[in-house]
Amino acid sequence: MNALYHCISKYHSIPSGAWDALCKTLTKVEIPRNSFLVKEGMVCNNLYFLEKGCLRGYYNLDGKEVTYWFGFEDNFVTSFYSFISRKPSVENIQALEDSALWSISFEALNQLFDAHKDLERLVRIINEQYYIRLEERFMAMQFKTARERYEQLIENSPHILHRISLGQTASYLGISQETLSRIRSQG
Contacts with DNA by CB under 7 A lie at 145-147, 165-167, 174-182, 184-185
φ and ψ of 164, to 5 deg: -120, 145
How many Cβ atoms sit within 10 Å of the Cβ of residue 9? 12
The H or E element containing residue 128 is helix 117-143
Distances (CA, A) of 84 to 93, 127, 176: 16, 12, 31
Q: What mask of x and - would describe binding to a copy of itself in positions 10 to 39, judged by CB under 8 A?
A: ------------------------------
Count of residues binding a copy of itself (CB under 8 A)? 28
40 touches a copy of itself by CB under 8 A: no
* Nearer of residues 88 and 174 to DNA, judged by Cβ: 174
141 touches a copy of itself by CB under 8 A: yes
Q: Which distant-in-sequence residues (6+ apart) come within 8 Å of 14 by Cβ?
A: 8, 22, 118, 119, 122
Q: How far apart are CA 147 and CA 140, in angstroms?
A: 11
5 touches a copy of itself by CB under 8 A: no
* Residue 106 interaction partner, one of DNA, a copy of itself, none, beta carbon < 5-8 Å per kind: none
Binding site for a copy of itself (CB under 8 A): 61, 66, 68, 80-81, 84-85, 113, 117, 120-121, 123-124, 127-132, 134-135, 137-139, 141-143, 174
